[in-house]
Chain A
Amino acid sequence: MRDSLFLAWRYLRHHRAKTLLLVLSLSVFLGLPLVMRAMSAVIQESLMARAESTPLLLGKKGSSLDLVVEALYFQPKGIDALTTADANEIDQTGLALAIPMRTGLMAQQFPVLGTSLDYFSFRGLKTAEGRGLATLGECVVGAEVAASLGLKPGDSILTSPSTLFDLAGVYPLRLQVVGTLEPSHGPDDRAVFVDVKTAWVAEGLGHGHQDLATAGNDVILKRKDGTATANAKLVQYNEITDENAESFHFHGDPSNYPVSAIIVVPNDDKARVLLRGRFVNDSARQLLRPAQVVQGLNEQIFRFERVLQLIVWTVGLATALMFVLVMVLSWRLRSDELRTMTRLGCSRWKAVQIMGAEVLLMVGASVALAAFFGFVIAQFGEAWLQNLILRGS
C-alpha cells in the first residue's frame, strides 16, 4: 500500500492544477451540506438565544421583524422611533424595567447603541479593561470592536457623519473609550455603547458650545433686549470633555426625545401578561416577544436551508459524477502506463490499488479541506452569516 500511495502522491503532485481542482470540487461537495447544516443550527440557536433572553420589546407599530433585528442585532432597518415618554410610561406602571435603546448611528463600521446602565446588567456584560460609562461623551466598546480597531481605555473613536455632502448635517462626535467589554459571543461584541444622551448629542439633538453670555463679540451677530444671536463662528464642540461637559444641553421636552426601541423586563409573569394586555389594542406601538418573531425567521431559514440542501446535493452528485468521469478519462489517457505496468509484472489488483490510492488521497484531502473550511466558518463565519441573514431579513 505504501508504494501505491507513493506513486499516487507523486502523480497528483505532478498534476497539481488538476488535483487541486478536483480536491476543491470534492471538498465543496463534501463540506458544504455539513457546514450549512451546522451553521444553520448555530445561527438559529444564537439568534434564538438572543431573542429568548429578551422578554419583551416595545417599538413603533410596523414590521416586527425589523424591530427585533434592529433592536437585538443592531442591523439598521430604519424603524420609526418611540420617545422617552414611552419608556417613562413603562417605568411608571411599576410592572417592568424599561431599557431604552437608540440605534442607527455608526462608528466606523460598528453600530453605536445609546442605552442606559441597566442594559449592561441585563445582558450580563462585564468590563474587561477600564470601567463602565460614567459621563456624557464616553463609550464602552465590545470585544470585537476593541480587537478590530485596537482600542483600549484612553483611546477615542469618531461616530460616522450622518451625511457626507450635507453641510447642515451632523458632524462626527469624538467618543472617549473608557472601557472594553469581555466577549459575550453575540451582537454586543460588535457594538459601541454610549449613554442614550450621548447618542442624542451625536445625532445633533443636543449640543455644546461657547457660553454666549461670556462669548466675545466676534461670535455674536447681534444683541438686543437680553437676546443674543450667534453667528457661524460660534464654536460648537465635537467632543465632550471635562471642561465643556456642562455646556452640553438639550432643547425641548426630554420626554419627546427619540428612542428606537425599549427592552421591557417585566417583574414577573403576571406583570408580563398585564403589560401585553395594555398594548394589545395600541394602534401606534407594538409590544412583542422577540422569541416569537425570531422563531418565524428561523422557520424561514430552515425552509430555505432545506431547499438549499437539495440543490447542493444535486450539484454535489453532478460533481461526484464529473469526478468519476475525470478519473476514468485520466486513466484512459494513461493506458500506456498501465500497459507498461502490466508488462513489468504488475498485477491487476496492484494497478487498481494505485488508481484507488489516487482517489483515496484526493478524497482524503477533500475531507480535510472541508473540515478545515468548516472549522474556519464555524469560528469566524457565524457572525458574518448572521449579519447576512439579518441584513436580508
Chain B
Amino acid sequence: MIELHDVQFEYSQGGFSLSVPELRISSGTRAAAIGPSGSGKTTLLNLISGIEPPEAGRIQTAGVRVDALSAAARRSFRITHVGFVFQDFLLLDYLDVRQNILYPYRLHPELHLDADARTRAERLAANLGIERFLARRPDELSQGERQRVAIARALVTAPKLVLADEPTGNLDPATKQHALDLLFEQCDAHSMTLLMVTHDHGLLDRFEQVVDVSAFGASRS
C-alpha cells in the first residue's frame, strides 16, 4: 500500500528536511508513526498523501506513484484515495454534522454528492453512534462526538488509506480508547490501511506496525 524509497524532502522556505531511505506498509495494516516533536511525522503523512512532493525518491501509495503526479493530480488522488483525521478535528461550525461528514464531496468535482454518498454518510454516522447528531452543529457536541464526526468525514469517500495525525491527542483516556476502537473497527470493516501519528506509546500494542520517524534522517536548520 505505502512504499517510500530514497525519499528526500526539504521545505521550500527551509528550516526542515527529511530523508526516508525505505518504508513499506502493507495494505490493510494498522500502522503507527512515532517520534519526538519535530521529527517529521506530519511531513511523512504529507509526503505519503501527496500534499508535499519530494525533492527526490519514490513514493507509491495505493499503487500510485505520488511523486510523479502533478499538483492537480495529487489533489485528485488525495480526495479519492486518502481520508484524513486531524488532531483538532477541523470541523466547520457553520455546517451541521451531516454536511461536515459530506464536506469532501463539496471540494472536488471528481466526487459526486449523490444518494449513495448520503447513504454512506448516514451508515457511518450510525456505526459511529452519532446518527442522532446529524442535524446538530459541531459546537453542540462533546470532544468525543466531534472526533467521531471527523472519523466519519475521513471515511465517507471510502478511501483506501486513512491518515490520522494524533486524532486522540485532545481526548480523555476513556474517550480516546473508544475513539480508537471505532476507528480501528471502521478501518478493518472496510479493509483500509491506517497510518496514525501518535505520541501515546501506551497505544502502540494495538498497532501491527510501528514506524519510528526519528530513525529517518531529519534535520533542522
Contacts and interface: CB of A to CB of B under 8 A. Distances in A.
| Centre residue among B75, B76, B95, B113 by max chain A CB count within 10 A | B75
A6 B96 CA distance: 13
Interface stretch (A43-51, A95-103, A229-237, A342-350): A342-350
Contact of B78 (A10, A11, A15, A344): A344
Given A344-B84, A345-B75, A6 B94 contact: no
Interface string B94-109: 1100010001111110
Interface of B: 49, 51, 72, 75-76, 78-80, 82, 84, 86, 88, 90, 92-95, 99, 103-108, 113
Nearest to A10: B94
21 contacts: A3-B105, A3-B106, A3-B107, A3-B113, A4-B106, A6-B106, A7-B95, A10-B94, A14-B94, A336-B88, A336-B90, A340-B86, A343-B51, A343-B78, A343-B84, A343-B86, A344-B103, A345-B80, A345-B104, A345-B107, A350-B107
A15 B137 CA distance: 14
Given A11-B94, A14-B93, A344 B107 contact: yes
A344 B79 contact: yes
Contacts of B103: 344
Nearest to B78: A345
B51 A337 contact: no
A13 interface: yes
B88 A341 contact: no
Interface in A320-374: 336-337, 339-347, 350
Contact of B108 (A336, A340, A350): A350
A350 B106 CA distance: 9
Contact of B75 (A6, A13, A14, A347): A347
A336 B95 CA distance: 15
Task: Say what secondary structure dominates the interface of chain A.
Answer: helix
Nearest to A4: B106
Contacts of B82: 345
Contacts of B95: 7, 10
B75 A346 contact: yes
Q: How large is the interface on A (under 10, 10 to 19, 20 to 34, 35 or more residues)?
A: 20 to 34
Q: Which 8 A-B pairs have the closest CB atoms?
A: A345-B79, A14-B94, A346-B107, A3-B106, A345-B78, A340-B90, A345-B75, A11-B94
Contacts of B49: 343
Contacts of A15: 94
B84 A10 contact: no
B217 to A, nearest CB: 25
A9 to B, nearest CB: 10
Nearest to B137: A14
Given A342-B51, A344-B84, A345-B79, A7 B106 contact: yes
B94 A13 contact: yes
Contacts of A347: 72, 75, 108
B22 to A, nearest CB: 26
A340 to B, nearest CB: 4
Given A344-B79, A345-B76, A345-B79, A337 B106 contact: no
B92 A337 contact: yes
A108 B136 CA distance: 55
Interface string A1-21: 001101100110111000000
Given A3-B113, A15-B94, A345 B86 contact: no
A98 B60 CA distance: 101
Nearest to B49: A343
Nearest to B95: A10
B108 A345 contact: yes
Given A11-B94, A336-B88, A337-B92, A344 B104 contact: yes
A339 B104 CA distance: 13
| Centre residue among B72, B78, B90, B94 by max chain A CB count within 10 A | B94
B87 to A, nearest CB: 12
A211 to B, nearest CB: 83
Contacts of A3: 105-107, 113
A350 B72 CA distance: 12
| Centre residue among B86, B106, B108 by max chain A CB count within 10 A | B106
B62 to A, nearest CB: 14
A184 B25 CA distance: 87
A337 B94 CA distance: 11
Contacts of A339: 90
A346 B94 contact: no
Contacts of A336: 88, 90
